[in-house]
Amino acid sequence: MLELRHLRTLAALHETGSVSRAAKRVHLTQSALSHQIKALQTHYRLPMVQRRGQSVELTDAGKHLVALAETVLEAIQATERGLAKISEQASGSLRIALECHTCFDWLMPLMDAFRQHWPDVELDLVSGFHSDPIRLLEEGLADVVIGSENKRRRDIAHHPLFCFEILAVLPPDHALRRKRILQAPDFSGMTLITYPVPEDRIDLIHHVLKPAGIHPERRTAELTVAILQLVASRRGIAALPSWGLKNYVEHEYVIARRIGSSGLWSNLYASTLKETAARPYLRDFLATAKNTCFATLEGIVPLE
Amino acid sequence: MLELRHLRTLAALHETGSVSRAAKRVHLTQSALSHQIKALQTHYRLPMVQRRGQSVELTDAGKHLVALAETVLEAIQATERGLAKISEQASGSLRIALECHTCFDWLMPLMDAFRQHWPDVELDLVSGFHSDPIRLLEEGLADVVIGSENKRRRDIAHHPLFCFEILAVLPPDHALRRKRILQAPDFSGMTLITYPVPEDRIDLIHHVLKPAGIHPERRTAELTVAILQLVASRRGIAALPSWGLKNYVEHEYVIARRIGSSGLWSNLYASTLKETAARPYLRDFLATAKNTCFATLEGIVPLE
DNA sequence: AAAATCCATGAATATGGTTCATAATTATGC
DNA sequence: GCATAATTATGAACCATATTCATGGATTTT
């Protein structure tokens, strides 16, 4: 019999185009999904997926169920928001502190949607740079911190968002363009274009260059597009999350290369006080954040 | 976490207004529903039902979930019809043979809905009286027989619909009006107004009067309204399913009385060939039949 | 007052979804 | 091309948990 888990599974399968990726997405085993899909297919006597070499494609039947999943899961979210209103837990504040500048890319549309859904929640961005953003939570100056920190602390809950790869960004005619993978020594003598934050907040420096004893020059820019402009006009190279690069790479504006043989990866968490984690609007924020990120951002991987 | 079973349960609770009746409706124990409701309430930190003496009422929160249930369950049914279309099992014939005349009351709107949902299924009523309607299935002259027979037969599947009470219908000024419950001897010397079918097809005669050696006169009419007309004009008394009587009783057109201390009950089944039972449109027909009957017909009880 | 009905609750049960281990199949690298 | 890696399918074992069972309290009916 059809259950919500089947709908969630098919939605994930539709997004990811692979059983094992979908399994990570819904925090189950690949085997579990395989069984689920098989059960669906025997129940409806219809194939739901069609293997196309390495990627699986949904059949028409599968797409019908995906469409169902979208309406059903949205309807559920909507009434759960309604229930939160009834229980009078629909108001409060959601002040977001961002550790990672690139996150503006996906945070903006998310905030727009959130404002619609929770008109009584005071939505805000905490501006400025903070050496210990988690402390903002304890000081009551922010309600969520979006960053890569996940050290266990009293009263703090780190909600895993996703895992993403940081790629080196070079101008198309750069001397290193032939190398598919860049290693630490490749960066010596280069100018690194970064956001204006301390060195140990930049993963490339903190985890790759500093351990290798390499200290390239730095130049900073506030906005991602500005960094890309500088790279394209050969003022230096940058290291940015893979998801925002696709368009620029496709237009051969810049090229992107892996850093280290297994890549440079970073995790993103949404950290809150444990008490605020229970609030319905916070839970809804986290859920839709993950949903929209996995739906729109390419190359990101579920965490935990 | 919310699951479809919770939605089904709340929908049933909304229809029946009682946990134990809802439990029968979804073929579970009263205890199971109690646990489900409790789980929902602790999960959303909201009461979903409010006990009002003997009947339970849904709270606002509960009503939200009921509304969700309606949209979700309908959406599921709709896409399951779509899947049947894909698997090309959406055509065929559904010729319905009715053993019980009163069933026209609920069958008509059901057939209208069915025609919309399955435009490619040839929908028909098998007219005339048949001594052994089940044989129509084997002879290929009908696809469903709606009646009270449930004898095990090779290749025949009896799908339980519901159980209903047959009440004696009297004119408001009848001599027996003082008795709350009528017994077999009360019928001696009366004229019985029935549908034009053989005696052993009339439950009152077959199960109550004949065993008591009572053989009242009979007069027949084709339509339920005609029977009620005759009763109201004191031409005799009748025995009819409780569900269709409500309006007439409320307007004091006729009065209705229980037959025997525990009442005279009859079961209704939809019988098909076992092979036809698998067809999607047949399954959909059965499901919506039960849904609409339980939603619109009062005083009926789930079966099996 | 007693009987009957209905709902809540804790413990036991049983269903079935998930994981584990492994095989089969398909890409990718050398 | 062969070997390696990655992905999916499958059967058995396991485990979670929904349901049932047994019971008590509460309310209504006779």
State yes or no: pLDDT of A250 exceeds 90.
no
Residues of chain B (10-29) having a beta carbon less than 7 angstroms from strand D: 27-29
Q: How far is CA A217 from CA A191, A206, A209, A255, B8, in A?
A: 5, 14, 12, 21, 64
A107-116, A122-131, B110-119: least confidently modelled range: A122-131
Q: What is the pLDDT of residue A52?
A: 81
Average pLDDT over residues A200-205: 92
Q: What is the pLDDT of residue B187?
A: 94
Domain extent listing, chain B = 4-84, 90-162+267-296, 164-265
To test the contact with chain A by mutation, choose from B48, B60, B63, B64 the residue with the greatest count of A C-beta atoms within 10 A, namely: B64
Contact across the interface for A86 and B64, Cβ inside 8 Å: yes
- Residue pair A165/A246 in contact (Cβ under 8 Å)? The answer is no
Contact across the interface for A72 and B72, Cβ inside 8 Å: yes
Q: What is the pLDDT of residue B107?
A: 96
Q: With respect to CATH, is domain B90-162+267-296 assigned 3.40.190.10?
A: yes
Q: Are both A90-162+266-296 and A164-265 of the same fold?
A: yes
To test the contact with chain A by mutation, choose from B4, B28, B70, B74 the residue with the greatest count of A C-beta atoms within 10 A, namely: B4
- What band does A299 get if pLDDT is binned at 50, 70 and 90? confident
Q: Which residues of B touch A44 (CB under 8 A)?
A: 80, 83, 87
- Residue pair A59/B83 in contact (Cβ under 8 Å)? The answer is no
- The token pair at A252 is 């051969």
Q: Which phi and psi angles does A201 have, rounded to 5°?
A: -95, -5
Q: What is the pLDDT of residue B89?
A: 84
Nearest in space to B143 (alpha carbons), one of B154, B134, B132? B134
Nearest in space to A15 (alpha carbons), one of A291, A303, A304? A291
- A204/A263 Cα distance (integer angstroms): 11
- What band does A49 get if pLDDT is binned at 50, 70 and 90? very high
CATH number for the segment(s) B164-265: 3.40.190.10
Q: What is the pLDDT of residue A88?
A: 85
Q: What is the pLDDT of residue B131?
A: 85
Does residue A18 approach strand D to less than 7 Å at its CB? yes
Render A217-259 in DSSP notation, one character per residue. Answer: EEEE-SSHHHHHHHHHTTS-EEEEEGGGTHHHHHTTSSEEEEE
Burial of B303 from C-beta contacts in 10 A (0-12 / 13-18 / 19+): middle
State yes or no: pLDDT of A16 exceeds 90.
yes
Cα–chain-centroid distance for residue B111?
15
Q: What is the pLDDT of residue A168?
A: 94
| B158-172 pLDDT tens trace | 999 999 999 999 999
Q: Which residues of B touch A63 (CB under 8 A)?
A: none
Beta bridge partners of A165: A265
Q: Angle at which helices B4-16 and B30-44 pack, to 10 degrees?
A: 110
- A242/A109 Cα distance (integer angstroms): 19
Alpha helices in chain B (DSSP H): 4-16, 19-25, 30-44, 60-86, 104-117, 133-138, 203, 224-232, 246-250, 280-296
* Nearest residue on chain A to B44, alpha-carbon basis: A83
Q: Which residues of B touch A75 (CB under 8 A)?
A: 68, 71-72, 75
- Residue pair A87/A280 in contact (Cβ under 8 Å)? The answer is yes
Q: Which residues of A touch B45 (CB under 8 A)?
A: 87
State yes or no: pLDDT of A12 exceeds 90.
yes
Does residue A39 approach strand C to less than 7 Å at its CB? yes
Q: What is the pLDDT of residue B52?
A: 83
Strand C footprint nucleotides (protein C-beta < 7 Å): 6-11, 17-22, 26-28
- Residue pair B149/B271 in contact (Cβ under 8 Å)? The answer is yes
Contact across the interface for A45 and B87, Cβ inside 8 Å: yes
- The token pair at B200 is 């052993």
User: Which fold, B4-84?
Assistant: Arc Repressor Mutant, subunit A (1.10.10)
| A134-146 pLDDT tens trace | 999 999 999 999 9
Closest-lying nucleotide for A55 based on CA to C1'? D7
State chain A's mean pLDDT as an integer: 93
- A171/A161 Cα distance (integer angstroms): 31
Beta bridge partners of A56: A51
**What stretches in chain B show pLDDT beneath 70?**
none
User: Which fold, A90-162+266-296?
Assistant: D-Maltodextrin-Binding Protein; domain 2 (3.40.190)
Radius of gyration of chain A from its Cα atoms, rounded to whole angstroms = 21
